[in-house]
Structure 1
Amino acid sequence: MGLKEEFLRLLREDEEFRLAVAGLLGLDEILKELRRLREDFTTFVKAEEERWRENEKRWEENWRRWEENNKRWEENWKRWEENERRWEENNRRWEENWKRWEENERRWREWFETWKKFLDDYLAFKEDTTRRLSRLEEGLGAVTEALFSRYVWEDLSADIRAAGELVVRRVRNADFDGVDVDLLVETDKRIFVVEVKVRPRIEDVGALLAKAEVVAGKTNKPVVPVLTGALVGREVEAYARGKGVLVYVY
């Protein structure tokens, strides 16, 4: 074996020889630096492994959260789908209800037009009936007043003759200084102011007394108020007689 081969063998097999050679060659500092680099690299690798383990834990936590969020989104999605079905159902019901409202509105309009026509016809009928009844009432009132005036004239004229008085004039529907008097009978001594009412009231007695007062203010003769009617209540009759009114009931 030559010197070269021996030298190489010692480098491979004898560590002390290698270090001695490295020292002679100035490689000991390089080796120390390499050792420090290896130590630093080992420390770095351990730190990185620790970081990766920490990151792995974080990723696992994030993954767990993502799974939870995914479950929540799936649940929310199911709820949204359910709500969407409900909205579709509600929309269908709203459309049905809207059609019903339109149909009801159409019926209400038809009913309103029918009712309006009925009301117009009723008002026209009522107006016509009222007008006819008014004319009938006026006619009946005139006939009744004429009839009662005749009755009271027959009884009053008999009482006048019995009292020895002479009738000077007799006027129906007399206008005495702006006051309407149903029947005015004047004798040589007195004037009778007659008020004809089918159903006289207390206020009718007051109106009769007021008319008699107006007539009395225009004459020197005593004025006698006379009330006649068919349905004279006891209270009205008592009140009239208490005021000096002659009452003839038929």
Structure 2
Amino acid sequence: MGLKEEFLRLLREDEEFRLAVAGLLGLDEILKELRRLREDFTTFVKAEEERWRENEKRWEESNKRWEENERRWRENEKRWEENERRWREWFETWKKFLEENERRWQENERRWEENRKMWEQWFETWRRFLDEYFAFKDEVNRRFSRLEENLGALTEAVFSRYVWEDLSADIRAAGEFVVRRVRNADFDGVDVDLLVETDKKIFVVEVKVRPKIEDVGALLAKAEVVASRLGKPTVPVLAGTQLGKEVEAYAKEKGVLVYMY
């Protein structure tokens, strides 16, 4: 066996020889470095295992959270489905309400239209009635006015006759005689119901059914106009049926001759 073969055999079989050779060759530092690397790797593996355990814990927590969130999402989904169902029910109810309300509005509009037509017909009927009523009233008023005028003229004629009879008797008793007698005499727009002229004076007669104090004043003014026109003394005469005491006293105080019937 040669030297080479013996050296190789010792390396294989003799560990001390092998280590000695390795040390001689600088393998001791390499082995130390390998050991450090193995220790560092072991530390790294342990750290990674710790991180994985922490991550696994976190993943478990996250998974629980996701499960909780999923549960909540399912609950929310149920709530949304319930809300959606309620919204659909509410929408259907509101839709029916709007349809019913629209139907009622149309019905009310139809009734309002019918009532409007009825009111228009009623208003037109009432307007025609009022027109006819006021036309009838105007006609009645015109007829009453004519009747009052006729009655006034008739009353004036009757009272003028009564006054003439009484006054003519008083004139004869006073020894005077009548020169002329004029009904509805006109002196420059001043109307005198009855004018009786004697040989000495003129009687200016005013006939009123219900004479007032202002009628006495008007009679006195007429007497002055007649006196100035005819140049004779005048005697104002007031004749009526409903003559108040105050009017009678005032007339007599002013020198008016009063006849009551």
TM over 0.5: same fold? Answer: yes
> Following TM superposition, by how much is the alpha carbon of 1:214 offset from its aligned partner in structure 2, in angstroms?
3.2
1:52-201 alignment to 2 at 5 Å? 52-68=63-79, 70-72=81-83, 74-75=85-86, 77-201=88-212
Unpaired runs of 5+ residues, structure 1, are 1-19
> Following TM superposition, by how much is the alpha carbon of 1:90 offset from its aligned partner in structure 2, in angstroms?
3.0
Aligned to 2:236: 225
Unpaired runs of 5+ residues, structure 2, are 1-30
> Following TM superposition, by how much is the alpha carbon of 1:175 offset from its aligned partner in structure 2, in angstroms?
1.4
Distance between the aligned counterparts of 2:69 and 2:79, measured in 1? 15
> Following TM superposition, by how much is the alpha carbon of 1:195 offset from its aligned partner in structure 2, in angstroms?
1.0
Which segments of structure 1 move beyond 6 Å, counting only runs of 4 or more?
none
Distance between the aligned counterparts of 1:80 and 1:55, measured in 2? 35
Distance between the aligned counterparts of 1:69 and 1:138, measured in 2? 96
Distance between the aligned counterparts of 1:110 and 1:188, measured in 2? 75
Residue 77 to residue 157, structure 1, CA distance change in 2 (3 Å) = same
> Following TM superposition, by how much is the alpha carbon of 1:77 offset from its aligned partner in structure 2, in angstroms?
4.6
Distance between the aligned counterparts of 2:206 and 2:115, measured in 1? 61
Distance between the aligned counterparts of 2:208 and 2:113, measured in 1? 60
State the TM-score, normalizing by the size of structure 2: 0.73
Distance between the aligned counterparts of 1:69 and 1:223, measured in 2? 117
Over aligned residues, Cα RMSD in angstroms?
A: 3.0
Aligned to 1:242: 253
> Following TM superposition, by how much is the alpha carbon of 1:220 offset from its aligned partner in structure 2, in angstroms?
4.5
Residue 55 to residue 143, structure 1, CA distance change in 2 (3 Å) = same
Identity rate, percent: 58
**Alignment partner of 1:180: what SS?**
strand
What one-letter code is carried by the residue in structure 1 that aligns with 2:184? N
What one-letter code is carried by the residue in structure 2 that aligns with 1:171? V
Distance between the aligned counterparts of 2:102 and 2:126, measured in 1? 35
What one-letter code is carried by the residue in structure 1 that aligns with 2:98? W
Q: Do residues 37 (structure 1) and 48 (structure 2) align? A: yes
Distance between the aligned counterparts of 1:210 and 1:104, measured in 2? 66
- The structure 2 residue matched to 1:202, chosen from 207, 213, 216, is 213
What one-letter code is carried by the residue in structure 2 that aligns with 1:90? N
Distance between the aligned counterparts of 1:78 and 1:241, measured in 2? 102
**Alignment partner of 1:221: what SS?**
coil
> Following TM superposition, by how much is the alpha carbon of 1:182 offset from its aligned partner in structure 2, in angstroms?
0.9
Q: Do residues 48 (structure 1) and 55 (structure 2) align? A: no
> Following TM superposition, by how much is the alpha carbon of 1:179 offset from its aligned partner in structure 2, in angstroms?
1.2
Distance between the aligned counterparts of 2:94 and 2:133, measured in 1? 55
**Alignment partner of 1:118: what SS?**
helix
Q: Which has the larger radius of gyration?
A: 2
Aligned to 2:10: none
Superposed CA offset, 1:188-229 (max 9, x none): 322221111223233322322332233344454332221112
Distance between the aligned counterparts of 1:62 and 1:205, measured in 2? 113
Distance between the aligned counterparts of 2:254 and 2:91, measured in 1? 94
> Following TM superposition, by how much is the alpha carbon of 1:68 offset from its aligned partner in structure 2, in angstroms?
4.5
With 228-237 and 150-159 compared, the bigger mean Cα shift is at 228-237
Distance between the aligned counterparts of 1:240 and 1:200, measured in 2? 10
